[in-house]
Amino acid sequence: MQYLNDLEKICKINSFTQNKAGVDRVGKQMQEWLEEIGFKTEVHERASIGNHLLFISPKVDGKKILLLGHNDTVFPEGEFEEFSQDDEWIYGAGVCDMKGGNIVALEALKNIYQQNGKIENIDFLLVSDEETGSDDSKFLTLKIAKDYDYCFVFEAAGANLEVVTGRKGVGTYTITIEGKASHAGTSYAKGINANLEASYKLIELTNLTNLDIGTTVNVGQIKGGIGANTISPKCELKVEIRYKTNSERDRLLKALNDITNKSFVKGTKSKLDGLIQRDVMEPSPQQQKLIEKLEEITNQTIPTEQRGGVSDANHVASCGVPTLDGFGPFGDGDHTIKERALKSSFEQRIDMMSQILSYHQKYKLLS
């Protein structure tokens, strides 16, 4: 299992998103391995974060596949760079999120190259800022997504080796409220309390949550006021929305505007800023058709699940490309110093993806 040595090599390189040098070292290593099996590298250079890398194979008639991963991890240098293993588990930064997934993709591609002596109609995008929201790379991902017919993403598998068919959309917003300062003892009635306005908005925003359909609205931070003896002239609410359908996104966006524009406390003025970071990945008939074909190719049932967390799969799916996530190994403890990945799941995932890509190389289609 040479691939475990490869995994160790890249996991021991710190690739904290803000560590450009480290992220680029991981990228260079992936580039070396992929160019050995015929890929050409398109480097999207960045000044303050790691370069995004698109590995390109020759194109012929037929359907095109995009494989998608990220090189960055979450711990700064010196905090978590160990790598170890026992009979069952591998431990280390990125072993499941998602250097382990990148190794699954790499190993499957190596298998296809050994079988055919070439790889066609498959590209592999590795971005450098997924862990901080893909604020830069999402524009590249959205730009190229339309060039592909299918996308496979190598975030971690589910506990029962599920692939991911749905992910919530997520947006982050700030509501800035302006009131009027005054002395709370001598001029109480002359003030306009921005904090009080925020309290009304907080209740209205929280009431948008509907756990039965997977919608959450969280006011995670409130900043306002000057001191106990001053009527607050300003307050900010940091709000996150998560949703499972496009219709819920539209409902929440309208409600955010309505709540922002409504003054519960006379004289306050409010402004809304923010954006949808990753739009929803909804299960679709095209996706289900793809799963059925993959089950036929691999001669196995492929369990599925939907997740509340987001990934770059959201971006590709939002472009209408049939997208499946969770093709990495199963693991847990990600984003902690207890991150681990199950050894046996590497074998299952590499074998599954090798069968899928082998079929594609032969027929240049999956549906």
What are the residue ranges spanned by the domains of the chain? 2-167+280-363, 169-278
What kind and span of H or E run contains 113? helix 99-116
Q: Could you give the CA distance from residue 314 to residue 244 in angstroms, rounded to a whole number?
A: 11
The pLDDT of residue 85: 96
For the segment 323-359, what is each residue's pLDDT rounded down to a tens digit? 999 999 999 999 999 999 999 999 999 999 999 999 9
Q: pTM for this one?
A: 0.92
The pLDDT of residue 41: 98
What kind and span of H or E run contains 237? strand 234-243
Cβ proximity of 215 and 256 under 8 Å: no
The pLDDT of residue 1: 79
What kind and span of H or E run contains 43? strand 40-44
Q: Could you give the CA distance from residue 103 to residue 26 in angstroms, rounded to a whole number?
A: 12
**Average pLDDT value over all residues in the chain:** 97
Residue 336's alpha-carbon distances to 142, 154, 267, 342, in angstroms, are 30, 19, 46, 16
Residue 315 has pLDDT above 90, yes or no: yes
Q: What is residue 262's three-state secondary structure?
A: coil
CATH 3.40.630.10 fits 2-167+280-363, yes or no: yes
CATH 3.30.450.40 fits 169-278, yes or no: no
Q: Could you give the CA distance from residue 90 to residue 102 in angstroms, rounded to a whole number?
A: 15
In the chain, what percentage of residues exceed pLDDT 70? 100
Mean pLDDT for 153-168 is 98
User: What sign does the CA torsion over 53, 316, 242, 263 have?
Assistant: positive
- Collect all residues with Cβ–Cβ distance below 8 Å to 34 and sequence separation of at least 6: 41, 55, 106, 109, 124
Residue 367 has pLDDT above 80, yes or no: no
Cβ proximity of 341 and 331 under 8 Å: yes
Residue 289's alpha-carbon distances to 66, 206, 294, in angstroms, are 18, 38, 9
Residue 82 has pLDDT above 90, yes or no: no
pLDDT tier, 227 (very low <50, low <70, confident <90, very high otherwise): very high
Which pairing describes strands 234-243 and 163-167: parallel, antiparallel, or unpaired?
unpaired
Q: Which candidate, 316, 310, 349, 313, places its Cα nearest to that of 330?
A: 349
Cβ proximity of 62 and 121 under 8 Å: yes
Give me Rg for the CA atoms of the chain: 24
Amino acid at 100: G
